Structure 1
């Protein structure tokens, strides 16, 4: 989340430094409310809000419910505002990967298109291992299935979307149909050579995308 030259990195409840605050059944609305609280607590704003994957869905709802906090949305391979298409087997694998180092390694290798630097991959696994079980399961079983598209009709701010044509987790078809198709006026940038983890796979592309023009 960027305000001027300052950057505020926010962990959603149940993940990263906020792992202890996750809870069973938490919804996208509760995640967006927690994010709003952090932004209000930081003062200033409105913010240019950048979000990746599940964070993209949370950021969309934040902008819809708290427009005074958001000046621009920068969404990277975002989860769609409608239920995320996921095969039952894939959903079960994701759910079962929590707390299992080898399952996490397999999961992250499955959704990436290029090898990650060893240090980045190790940090990715460490972050996955410390995630709250209840929050991990809540996203798989609740948040990813929610439909928040009915709240997005009043969005009136610049929105940019960066995605990969080679993403095996959230397909380019899903991005075009369920994200861009529901956000008239959003500016889309498609790239190739990356899977779902664009910030780690193509960091220079993401940096350019986030840089104000």
Structure 2
């Protein structure tokens, strides 16, 4: 099962949700992301949130579609996106995508990035995607990754106190058995040179970002 969640971030940063690469995904709306889905003629399986960002007209549109809504009060301990993600991960998906999670408020964007940690507990593949970035979290292991010509830059950040045994091969700036501490910009703006490059790490969690201007 593949699931995709659309949150309420800036619509101009959400890629084409009807692209062929997303054809096999079931869709979930998180608050205003539900309206974004409907604008793209996509009916979500479920929609989560307090829906306080919807206008009266948008709320009438949502109600008129007969969607399965999981409504919550505005005062709650989780964001609408986290509520949607918790449900999605409980379905044990093979792959899960997050759209509309970046580009707006910085607090929401940073919280969305940290939500990648939840997928580690469920052993699920989770990725944040917008028009300029693809973000995922790597745990200890070795990863052969195909070069994506749509994204020039390849960057890494530690998500734990440090990442040890970090090895990058097939890239412009290779590393071998390096230590990447939390807060270091050592691995920003690398570039893939081989069609298949490799990332490996022994300890820690590593944020991998494919980016373009």
Q: One fold, TM greater than 0.5? A: no
Write 1 or 2 for the structure with the bigger share of strand. 2
* TM-score, scaled relative to structure 1: 0.26
Write 1 or 2 for the structure with the bigger share of helix. 1
**Higher RCO (Cα < 8 Å, 6 or more apart):** 1
* TM-score, scaled relative to structure 2: 0.26
The structure with more radius of gyration: 2
